[in-house]
Amino acid sequence: MAVPHILIVEDDLIIALDIECIVLEALDAKTTVVSSVETALPHLDEEIDFAFLDIDVRDGKTFGLAERLQDRGIPFTFVSGSNRARLPDMLQGSPFIAKPYVPNAIMQVLDEVVPPEKRASA
């Protein structure tokens, strides 16, 4: 069984590693952590099951990346200290976790989006 592949786009290393740790505690998963849109784009050619996106990263906003994920049917959640109201109209309904977050918020999202067949058996 293939493990889920989770993309984490976050330019604050401590937050990125925290999200990665939460993911790896909750799932047997492959994680890819990047700090910019530019470094995230090549990973869209891989089989990504889910993405956590900060809005403001090193090279700008992740809105274009989110739209590409949306077009490919890849679920994602914004994890950001930015104001949700500033999301473009096309992304207004996107899942959003405000920073500072609690680990349970990340785990709840994983429970909702990672299909049972992609989960490790206990």
Q: Which of 40, 48, 42 is nearest to 3 (CA)?
A: 48
Domain 5-115 superfamily per CATH? Response regulator (3.40.50.2300)
* pLDDT value for 109: 96
* pLDDT value for 99: 97
Distance, in Å, from the CA atom of 13 to the CA atom of 15, rounded to the nearest integer, reads: 5
pLDDT band at 119 (very low <50, low <70, confident <90, very high): low
The tens digit of pLDDT for each residue in 16-69 reads 999 999 999 999 999 999 999 999 999 999 999 999 999 999 999 999 999 999
Are 35 and 10 a contacting pair, CB within 8 Å? yes
Is pLDDT at 121 greater than 60 in this prediction? Answer: no
pLDDT band at 10 (very low <50, low <70, confident <90, very high): very high
What does the pLDDT average to over 66-85? 96
